[in-house]
Structure 1
Amino acid sequence: MNARTVLILGIKELRGLLRDPIMLVLIVYSFSLSIWTSSNAAPEALANAALSIVDEDQSHLSSRIVSSFYPPWFVPPTMITAAEIDSRMDAGQDTFALHIPPDFERDVLAGKTPAVQLSIDATRMSQAFTGGGYIQQIVTAEVSEYVAGYRSAPDPPVELALRARYNPSLDPGWFGAITSVIQSITMLSLVLTGAALIREKEHGTVEHLLVMPVTAAEIMLSKIWSMGLVVLLGSGFALVVVVQGLLAVPVQGSVLLFLAGAVLMLFAMTALGIFMATVAGTMPQFALLMMLVLMPLQVLSGAMTPRESMPEIIQTIMLAAPNTHFILLSQAILFRGAGIETVWPQFLALAVIGTVLFRLALRRFRGFLR
């Protein structure tokens, strides 16, 4: 195997990528705007929900409840009358309307169970789904604290103190930004190598390579190092400039150690991308095949749902997927500040899986060239 040949062929791949504006836009978007969107969207968290309150009690307890709704979960509540609830919700001005009845404080202190009405605009699904629980918890906590203070109840003998190590405020944007970087590495390593091979076939340059003194391994390695380098540089830029710089999301561990793990991940995924391209043959077929492969990899690897909550058989099967180990080492390094002494099993697993995928892809690629 000639290293100079692999270098020259890889430079040819980079020049071909520069002449593909769609791929360039995809790369720039994946490592910039996509990460910013994932960090700020956070659909599972309530943010700036519109709330109006009808306070017919005008007591100290109702004032405490009104003052407990504040950003970033809610916008400052609007005080309205009961007759305005339906019209404001029909006009889309409010997502939630809380109605505190008269004599609410007196009934609570008397040991009764007065009802508080909460109207929800269910057409705003993402906020309506979580907002009702937020409001119920806030009202219940304020009433319980007020009653306990009024009756001078003794302090409980045991108090549970919760401390979040990496993300003290449990801001979902922190996790969303880093998870988006990991997912972009997985996706682009498949797309770029597969598209590079199919582009060779569609443009007829595969036949040119066949008459040159190059081997299938040299052609594969050239595509792997060139496309892998593009994704590696993009991920480094995204992590340092976008995540740490623009979004101000802290990283606990070593960025260089994470990028070292990304190199092994790219080796495995680019080999898989070449294998898929030889199976598909055309770009539309490759796109369909990528959807069938990429979605299970993203969903079942632990990026979206913790592996511990999945059935054991799924956890065992997904150990054969490279991005399962990459997500484990990424979370350990970036979230918990782990070193190589902790994540070396994931590094070893990625190296073994990458070698197996490379050999399978090389065998398939030789048949593809013939």
Structure 2
Amino acid sequence: MAVSNILHLGIKELRSLWRDPVLMIFIVYAFSLSVYTAATAMIDSLNNAPIAIVDDDRSPLSMRIVDAFYPPYFKPPVLIEQHEVDARMDMGIDTFALHIPSNFQRDLLAGHQPAIQLNIDATRMGQAFTGNSYVQSIVSGEITTFVERHRQVSVTPVDLVLRAKFNTELNSQWFGAVMQVINNITMLSIILTGAALIREREHGTVEHLLVMPVTPFEIMASKVWSMALVVLVATALSLWLVVQLWLAVPLHGSVGLFLFGTLLHLFATTSLGIFLGTIARSMPQFGLLMVLILLPLQVLSGGTTPRESMPDIIQHIMLLAPNTHFVMLAQSILYRGAGISEVWPQFLSLILLGGALFGLSLSRFRKTIASMA
């Protein structure tokens, strides 16, 4: 009887979700366009940065420096006058403005150390941080070549050979796409289960469940398995259609093993969603709770920055969060091709944390149901 009740109540949850167009659009977006934009918008290398150059020297060396800036790193440089620099940067036209002073080539050949001024719009952090080193490298290279009249070939006593494992192309899209899927799994599983419980309360259908021969365990278990199923199917389709086919990201490990780990993670996060749903009295309150809970979970789990770069106390505290272990196993499986022998500690941690969260949420859910009876 319990299994039958859990099955039919779960089917009811799936029908309720199907009738909610906003959540359905949100699910489709989170596992399609959201993944694509996260993978393609975060480009680590410089791309088409606007640069203006004030060439007061008008010498062969200054012209050589001007010609060294070209796509795809920079847009073709615009030659401007000194009085235009501040106005153009105030309007956001240029990210970089390079000023080559008069008599620059003459002073350089005379053995002096003339200065070149580089103005940077630091509000464009991505381009400013990366482009600074690009500009310095280009200018220094052209000056060195001009002075020595040839391309200097430096000979080092050691030949350092670079072999990039797991991401041979050093492509940031490979990291961004998979990590966005991982983050959306955590986000959607919490939102869907919490919203399902709050929707019952707002529509008044909780009272209908109270008069039925069902237990709080059956009600909660039905919400957990139905919402977990939705997220699991969406994850599998996203990995196949968006990550592998659309973005052409190679997955080195077993997708089946990853989906099994996802299922364990969903057991924990859907339980957490039920717990938050019992605390919040309305969807606006639930949204505020999501901001307080979800943001630290995602930022401190190791998906955005390596856990090793965080303070030790944060690393220890975040071991109590299920998505920390999920990020570890997901990266190991999908990036490095790890098997069950390498990720079984994370699997065990998810089972223990999921059981603890389920028990805590069930206790809270029973009290909520009792207060409404």
Q: TM-score, normalised by structure 1?
A: 0.89
Q: Which residue of 2 aligns with 1:338?
A: 338
Q: Which residue of 2 aligns with 1:305?
A: 305
SS of the residue corresponding to residue 252 of structure 2 reads coil
CA shift, 1:249, in A, is 2.3
Q: Which amino acid aligns with 1:4?
A: S
CA shift, 1:154, in A, is 5.8
Aligned identity (percent) is 61
Q: Which amino acid aligns with 1:320?
A: L
Give the direction of change, closer, same or farther, for the CA distance of 1:312–1:121 in structure 2 (3 Å limit).
closer
Counterpart-to-counterpart distance in 2, 1:5 and 1:174: 43
Unaligned runs of 5+ in 1: none
Give the direction of change, closer, same or farther, for the CA distance of 1:182–1:61 in structure 2 (3 Å limit).
farther
CA shift, 1:287, in A, is 1.6
CA shift, 1:43, in A, is 6.8
SS of the residue corresponding to residue 118 of structure 2 reads strand
Q: Which residue of 1 aligns with 2:221?
A: 221
Q: Which amino acid aligns with 1:248?
A: A
Matches within 5 A, 1:10-159: 10-42=10-42, 45-55=45-55, 65-66=65-66, 68-80=68-80, 85-86=85-86, 88-89=88-89, 92-101=92-101, 104=104, 108=108, 111-143=111-143, 150=150, 155-159=155-159
CA shift, 1:148, in A, is 7.1
Q: Which amino acid aligns with 1:330?
A: A
Moved more, 278-287 or 153-162: 153-162
Moved more, 306-315 or 36-45: 36-45
Give the direction of change, closer, same or farther, for the CA distance of 1:107–1:33 in structure 2 (3 Å limit).
same
Moved more, 126-135 or 231-240: 126-135
Counterpart-to-counterpart distance in 2, 1:339 and 1:110: 64
Q: Which amino acid aligns with 1:214?
A: V
Give the direction of change, closer, same or farther, for the CA distance of 1:153–1:224 in structure 2 (3 Å limit).
closer
Q: Over aligned residues, Cα RMSD in angstroms?
A: 2.7
Give the direction of change, closer, same or farther, for the CA distance of 1:102–1:334 in structure 2 (3 Å limit).
farther
CA offsets 1:27-70 (integer angstroms, 9 cap, x no match): 11111121122122217653321123345667776566445434
Q: TM-score, normalised by structure 2?
A: 0.88
SS of the residue corresponding to residue 341 of structure 2 reads helix
Q: Which residue of 1 aligns with 2:244?
A: 244
Query: Could you tell me whether the CA contact under 8 Å between 1:45 and 1:172 is conserved in 2?
Result: no
Unaligned runs of 5+ in 2: none
Counterpart-to-counterpart distance in 2, 1:54 and 1:168: 40
Query: Could you tell me whether the CA contact under 8 Å between 2:191 and 2:273 is conserved in 1?
Result: yes
Counterpart-to-counterpart distance in 1, 2:286 and 2:146: 62
Q: Which residue of 1 aligns with 2:317?
A: 317
Moved more, 167-176 or 139-148: 139-148
Q: Which amino acid aligns with 1:204?
A: G
Counterpart-to-counterpart distance in 2, 1:253 and 1:61: 52
CA shift, 1:362, in A, is 1.2
